[in-house]
């Protein structure tokens, strides 16, 4: 009977332990998902409160698991109390200094993240550029503060960081010789960012894949196309880039009118009516106009209308121009031709 109760207790403890671990994992997953969606909406102090609450939950979960498995706090404290007391007295300065350095480092990382994530929110000509630089600065700041924190803590505990830095340099040289592709990606990413080949939010085409740049780092670039597909490219592999966001786009509408039409009058009517479209199409940067006669086709006179639009917003403008041209031509009884074939038959007499 005692064995059965022991097995039952152990099974219960295992289930409760798994439930507690699962709860902590779900808590962190929900936190990450919510913070990612609300990062630009909530005030920074809300994030601080959430981090503190999560820390409390984790500590409470650890103490709960120790209690669940019968950990004797009183005995542990009495056995280790003297050792811990001597250790604290001996190293109290180093402990407090390390905690302060760690706290300040985490605080600086959080502040830099909150500050840099808000750069580029306002509409401006340099908005995309600001977002790109902010992403790169955020990554560099995190790694720089992390490495500096480790070196400072080692120095506080009496470790000579000079030889450590020299050792890191030698190790870095060895790794660099064996990771030339990685170094090549970093160098390519550096030049992409600072020579402004493209920024976050730009629409580019690389290796036949066209989409918007959703993330740009020193090593990789992520591009998302209109179907939602995301392609991750190493910066060293990005060559022959076409950037569609550098200049305004051009909406081109090709159409035809019948040979019986008065060409000069048709152009005049279209150039008078087409500019009225700008009232309902803010993406247009100029009044649409008829360029003129482009060619003489088999069934009609081929003409072209043009209009500059905001970057990559010409697709809808072209459709709207075709619809408007059709309405204008119909209202003025100007015929839009259709393919015609003239068959000539020669009469012969015997």
List Cβ neighbours of 145 (8 Å cut-off, separation of 6 or more): 105, 108, 109, 112
Confidence of residue 194 (pLDDT cuts 50, 70, 90): confident
* pLDDT tens-place string over residues 4-53: 445 445 677 677 777 777 777 777 777 666 666 665 566 666 666 777 77
Phi, psi of 311 (to 5 degrees): -55, 125
Does residue 140 sit within a domain? no
Is 275 found in the same domain as 229? no
Does residue 293 sit within a domain? yes
Does residue 113 sit within a domain? no
Q: For 276, which DSSP code?
A: G
Does residue 62 sit within a domain? no
Strands 220-224 and 289-296: unpaired
- What's residue 304's pLDDT? 92
User: Quick one: CA torsion of 110, 111, 112, 115, rounded to 10 degrees?
Assistant: 120
Is 258 found in the same domain as 312? yes
Token digits of residue 193: 């960012």
- What's residue 279's pLDDT? 85
* pLDDT tens-place string over residues 202-253: 888 888 888 888 888 777 888 888 888 888 888 888 888 888 877 788 889 9
Does residue 12 sit within a domain? no
Strand order in the sheet with 230-234: 230-234, 220-224, 209-216, 203-206, 242-243
Instruction: Annotate 137-154 with b (16+ C-beta within 10 A) or e (fewer).
Output: ebeebeeebeeebebbbe
- Any alpha helices (H) in the chain, and if so which ranges? 2-38, 44-68, 73-117, 127-156, 161-178, 180-194, 263-273, 314-331
* pLDDT tens-place string over residues 302-350: 999 999 888 778 888 899 999 999 999 888 888 888 766 666 665 555 4
Task: Please identify, among 222, 243, 264, the residue that sits at the C-terminal boundary of a domain.
Answer: 243
Q: Please provide the average confidence, as pLDDT, over all residues in the chain.
A: 76
Q: What is the CATH number of the domain that holds 185?
A: 2.30.30.60
Q: What is the pTM of this model?
A: 0.46
Does residue 271 sit within a domain? yes
Is 204 found in the same domain as 256? no
When mean pLDDT is compared over 104-118, 121-135, 174-188, 245-259, the highest value belongs to: 245-259
Separation in Å, CA 224 to CA 96, 206, 212, 216: 47, 12, 5, 12
Q: What is the CATH number of the domain that holds 283?
A: 3.30.70.100
List Cβ neighbours of 288 (8 Å cut-off, separation of 6 or more): 251, 253, 274, 275, 277, 278, 305, 306, 307, 321
Is 255 found in the same domain as 230? no
Separation in Å, CA 187 to CA 163, 182, 219, 258: 28, 9, 8, 59
Q: How far apart are the first and last CA of the chain?
A: 124
Domain span holding position 211: 179-243
Does residue 312 sit within a domain? yes
CB atoms within 10 A of CB 211: 20
Q: How many independent structural domains does the chain possess?
A: 2
Task: Please identify, among 189, 214, 243, the residue that sits at the C-terminal boundary of a domain.
Answer: 243
Token digits of residue 179: 């990771």
Is 253 found in the same domain as 236? no
List Cβ neighbours of 51 (8 Å cut-off, separation of 6 or more): 110
Nearest Cα to Cα of residue 238 among 262, 255, 213, 256: 213
The rounded distance, in Å, linking the Cα atoms of 107 and 246 is 38
* pLDDT tens-place string over residues 74-117: 666 665 556 666 666 666 677 777 888 888 888 888 777 777 76
Does residue 196 sit within a domain? yes
The rounded distance, in Å, linking the Cα atoms of 116 and 62 is 34
């Amino acid at each position: 009977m005692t064995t059965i109760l022991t097995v039952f207790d152990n099974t219960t403890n295992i289930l409760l332990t798994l439930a507690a671990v699962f709860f902590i994992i779900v808590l962190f997953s929900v936190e990450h998902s919510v913070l990612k969606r609300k990062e630009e909406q909530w005030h920074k102090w809300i994030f601080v409160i959430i981090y503190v609450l999560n820390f409390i939950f984790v500590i409470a979960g650890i103490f709960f698991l120790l209690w669940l498995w019968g950990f004797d706090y009183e005995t542990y404290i009495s056995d280790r109390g003297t050792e811990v007391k001597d250790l604290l007295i001996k190293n109290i300065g180093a402990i407090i200094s390390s905690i302060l350095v760690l706290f300040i480092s985490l605080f600086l990382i959080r502040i830099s993240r909150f500050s840099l994530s808000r750069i580029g929110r306002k509409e401006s000509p340099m908005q995309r550029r600001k977002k790109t630089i902010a992403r790169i600065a955020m990554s560099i700041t995190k790694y720089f503060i992390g490495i500096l924190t480790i070196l400072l803590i080692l120095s506080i505990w009496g470790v000579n960081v000079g030889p450590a830095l020299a050792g890191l340099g030698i190790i870095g040289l060895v790794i660099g010789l064996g990771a030339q592709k990685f170094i090549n990606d970093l160098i390519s990413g550096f030049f992409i960012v600072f020579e402004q080949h493209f920024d976050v939010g730009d629409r580019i085409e690389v290796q036949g894949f066209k989409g918007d740049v959703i993330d740009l780092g020193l090593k990789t670039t992520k591009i998302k196309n209109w179907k939602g597909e995301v392609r991750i490219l190493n910066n060293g592999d990005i060559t022959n880039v076409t950037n569609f966001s550098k200049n305004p786009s051009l909406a081109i509408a090709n159409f035809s009118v019948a040979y019986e039409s008065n060409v000069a009058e048709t152009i005049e009517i279209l150039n008078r009516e087409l500019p009225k479209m700008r009232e309902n199409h803010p993406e247009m940067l100029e009044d649409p106009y008829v360029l003129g006669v482009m060619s003489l086709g088999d069934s009609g006179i081929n003409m072209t209308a043009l209009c500059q639009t905001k970057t990559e917003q010409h697709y809808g403008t072209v459709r709207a121009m075709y619809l408007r041209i059709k309405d204008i031509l119909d209202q003025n009884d100007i015929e839009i031709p259709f393919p015609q074939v003239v068959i000539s038959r020669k009469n012969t007499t015997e």
